[in-house]
Amino acid sequence: MIISPPVITPSEPPSGAFLLASGLEARGISTGFLDLSLEFFNYIFAKIPEGRGYPAVKYALTYLRNNSNYPPGQHRTVSGVLNSALKSFSKGYPGWKISLMDLTPPSEVHKPEELLKICKREVTPFSEFWEEYLLPILKMHHPKTVLVSFSYLSQLPAGIDLALFLKTNGYHVIAGGSLLNSLDRTGKGFDLLRRVLPETVLGDGSLLRGIESTDNSLLSRLSWPYTLSSWQYISGSPIIPYTLSTGCFWNKCLFCPDRKRKLSIFGKEVFEEFIKTVPPSIMKRKPVIHLLDSTIPKKTLLDILPVLKENNLDFYGFIRPEKWVADQSDMLADHGCLMLQLGAESGSHSLLERFSKGIDPETSLEVIQSCAESGIRTYVYMLLGLPGETISDLNASVSFLQEAGNSIDFINFSIFNLPTNCELSDRADEFGIELVYDKDSENVIRLYMPFRCEGRNPRIMARDFITEKLSRLPSIEETLLRTPKWFRTSHFPLIEIPGRISHKPDLSK
Ligand code: SF4
């Protein structure tokens, strides 16, 4: 059995666990995929009383599940209702805070041993749910082994509690997932995690015992998995996670945590075969394919466009803002592209060049404008606080955003984090980076490390600049208001924006 523990947003299946179960299914190993995070949210929401003085949870869920297009204001309101219900629920567990995308435990989330102590000592927000919901499923299916899949830190507290519950009830537990891979490959503290979760499997799952995999990757053959959870996701259209590749064909950015990852591309045939296995009950609701690639490979995308069209599928995903995207945006839109996530990162040419990004602001601008004209939603990622960033670099980003104006539909401002292991941290001196080692960090797991440049933390300057300048640009104020804060990206392609293509499920089928 493959279980994805809470808390991960309940709008689409957790990609890592879902694809692992799909890869095993394609090899004749039916595992039973259980999205326990989705079921946990459904369990909590069902317990919230209806009526005056209580959040209108039922209305919010019905609204989000029965509509495939959300006006931004309404989306904000109903998401707020669900979050306030979660806030009320959290009050019953001092020190715990649960939201639609995150979880704060009573101790630091980066200290697995402390989390285990809490889970052993106290009733957690999950204890009753394990007993009432999970135990009957376990008793029905008698799994020989349960793989607990971790993708995000927000899953760690519940995942540790779950592993404890499973072991106490006599089940064999293995931990896996992208969080563990990242910690092992580019982070620090994998050994700390193994003290709490001693049996782990790394990689994409091909190393699991009993799998006779002659091909290199489990993702090279995928079939719809045997799912134990309901498909009661909080989304008007089913969102299906899928990836055309692992690794990155560019693979040159100096601060990329994934540089050591080998590039594998899974072509049109793999996708076509997978689509044939999607249940008719999902296909008739016109799913949206969420392409998870670090950056979607051009040729493979162009190859699968006819398959998407023939099957009446829409899609979205992350793409490098390269010239070909601007040239082909009409065709992409015509083949169901609802949104592209574009890492423009900075308006400063020299800054992008210094870190070998291989993109330039002029082309990014052309891509953004061209996609918007073709009706494709644009979700632009800006990265501030890079080592050596000057005020003139920041001002270049202001000009870039001003010029892009209303062509940007959604925006994400992130502040640079230095991966613990990457080419930039290895060559820190060369870039004027002073790595900061603190004693406290010995007992924590972490993916990033603190640093300074010329005695200052560039992250602070970046944070101030975002708050005081960038967020106040008139077009950006509007964009920020429109950008959903919850449900990760799953709902973004469904947000109604004048001039952009609407996702239209054919409900008559
Ligand atoms: S484009 Fe993204 S995934 Fe590729 S090397 Fe750069 S940071 Fe890494």
**Is the pLDDT at 463 greater than 80, yes or no?**
yes
What is the pLDDT averaged over residues 17-27?
A: 94
Look at 48-62, 85-99, 310-324, 434-448 and tell me which has the smallest mean pLDDT: 434-448
- CB 149 near ligand 1, within 6 Å: no
pLDDT one-digit tens code per residue, 211-240:
655 566 889 999 999 999 888 999 999 999
Please confirm whether the linkage preceding 7 is cis (ω < 30° from 0). Answer: yes
- CB 248 near ligand 1, within 6 Å: yes
Q: Which of 25, 38, 70, 48 is nearest to 491 (CA)?
A: 70
Planar angle of CA 197, 12, 186, nearest 5 degrees: 40
How far is the first Cα of the chain from the last one, in angstroms, to the nearest whole number?
33
Closest C-alpha to ligand 1, atom 6 = 253
Compute CA distances 246 → 27, 147, 249, whole Å: 20, 22, 9
- CB 295 near ligand 1, within 6 Å: yes
What is the pLDDT averaged over residues 485-497?
A: 95
Measured in residues, the chain has a length of 509
**Is the pLDDT at 204 greater than 80, yes or no?**
no
- CB 258 near ligand 1, within 6 Å: yes
Ligand 1, pocket-test mutation among 246, 252, 386, most atoms within 8 A of CB: 252
Q: Where are the alpha helices (DSSP H) in 186-297?
A: 190-196, 268-276, 280-283
What is the pLDDT averaged over residues 160-187?
A: 93
**Is the pLDDT at 39 greater than 60, yes or no?**
yes
Residue 501 binned pLDDT confidence (cut-offs 50, 70, 90): very high
CA 295 / ligand 1 centre spacing (Å): 7
> Dihedral of CA 209/212/214/215: which sign?
negative
**Is the pLDDT at 507 greater than 80, yes or no?**
no
CA 296 / ligand 1 centre spacing (Å): 11
Read off the tokens for 147.
């793989």
Question: Would you say 22 and 226 are in contact if contact means Cβ atoms under 8 Å apart?
Answer: no
pLDDT one-digit tens code per residue, 303-358:
999 999 999 999 999 999 999 999 999 999 999 999 999 999 999 999 999 999 99
Residue 404 binned pLDDT confidence (cut-offs 50, 70, 90): very high
- CB 401 near ligand 1, within 6 Å: no
Tell me the pLDDT of the chain averaged across its residues: 93
Planar angle of CA 185, 191, 194, nearest 5 degrees: 110
- CB 86 near ligand 1, within 6 Å: no
Q: Which atom of ligand 1 is nearest to the CA of 248?
A: 4
- CB 245 near ligand 1, within 6 Å: no
* DSSP conformational letter for 406: G
Q: Residue 216: its pLDDT value, please? A: 66
Read off the tokens for 480.
């920020």
Burial tier of 403 (Cβ tally within 10 Å: 0-12, 13-18, 19+): middle
Q: Which of 77, 48, 154, 140 is nearest to 109 (CA)?
A: 154
- CB 250 near ligand 1, within 6 Å: yes
Is 0.85 surpassed by the pTM of this model? Answer: yes
**Is the pLDDT at 33 greater than 90, yes or no?**
yes
CA pair distance 304, 310, nearest whole angstrom: 10
CA pair distance 287, 216, nearest whole angstrom: 29
Residues near 224 by beta carbon (within 8 Å), at least 6 away in sequence: 22, 25, 274, 277, 278, 279
What is the pLDDT averaged over residues 279-300?
A: 96
Q: Which domains does the chain have, with CATH numbers?
A: 2-196 (no CATH), 237-494 (3.80.30.20)
Read off the tokens for 188.
């620090």
Closest C-alpha to ligand 1, atom 7 = 256
Read off the tokens for 24.
């095993």
**Is the pLDDT at 206 greater than 70, yes or no?**
no
Question: Would you say 270 and 222 are in contact if contact means Cβ atoms under 8 Å apart?
Answer: yes
Q: Residue 230: its pLDDT value, please? A: 81
Residue 93 binned pLDDT confidence (cut-offs 50, 70, 90): very high
Instruction: Count CB atoms within 10 A of the CB of residue 40.
Output: 23
CA 45, distance to chain mean position in Å, is 23
Question: Would you say 350 and 325 are in contact if contact means Cβ atoms under 8 Å apart?
Answer: no
CA 485 / ligand 1 centre spacing (Å): 24
What is the pLDDT averaged over residues 89-113?
A: 94
| Percent of the chain residues topping a pLDDT of 90 | 83
Q: Residue 323: its pLDDT value, please? A: 98
Q: Residue 212: its pLDDT value, please? A: 56
What is the pLDDT averaged over residues 474-491?
A: 94
Question: Would you say 42 and 89 are in contact if contact means Cβ atoms under 8 Å apart?
Answer: no
Look at 153-157, 214-218, 482-486 and tell me which has the smallest mean pLDDT: 214-218
Residues near 424 by beta carbon (within 8 Å), at least 6 away in sequence: 254, 255, 355, 387, 418, 431, 433
Q: Residue 506: its pLDDT value, please? A: 59
CA 380 / ligand 1 centre spacing (Å): 15
What is the pLDDT averaged over residues 390-403?
A: 96
Closest C-alpha to ligand 1, atom 5 = 251
Q: Residue 161: its pLDDT value, please? A: 98
Residue 30 binned pLDDT confidence (cut-offs 50, 70, 90): confident
Nearest 5°: phi and psi at 158? -70, -35
Planar angle of CA 246, 252, 256, nearest 5 degrees: 65
Question: Would you say 411 and 480 are in contact if contact means Cβ atoms under 8 Å apart?
Answer: yes
Q: Residue 22: its pLDDT value, please? A: 95
Residues near 416 by beta carbon (within 8 Å), at least 6 away in sequence: 255, 383, 384, 385, 386, 387, 458, 459, 462
CA pair distance 224, 293, nearest whole angstrom: 19
Grouping H, G, I as helix, E, B as strand and the rest as coil, residue 317 is strand
Which residues face 449 on adjacent strands?
418
Burial tier of 145 (Cβ tally within 10 Å: 0-12, 13-18, 19+): middle
| Percent of the chain residues topping a pLDDT of 70 | 97
Nearest 5°: phi and psi at 90? -60, -30
Q: Residue 95: its pLDDT value, please? A: 95
CA pair distance 416, 450, nearest whole angstrom: 11
CA 472 / ligand 1 centre spacing (Å): 29
Look at 169-178, 194-203, 237-246, 487-496 and tell me which has the smallest mean pLDDT: 194-203
CA 256 / ligand 1 centre spacing (Å): 6
CA 311, distance to chain mean position in Å, is 25
Q: Residue 294: its pLDDT value, please? A: 95
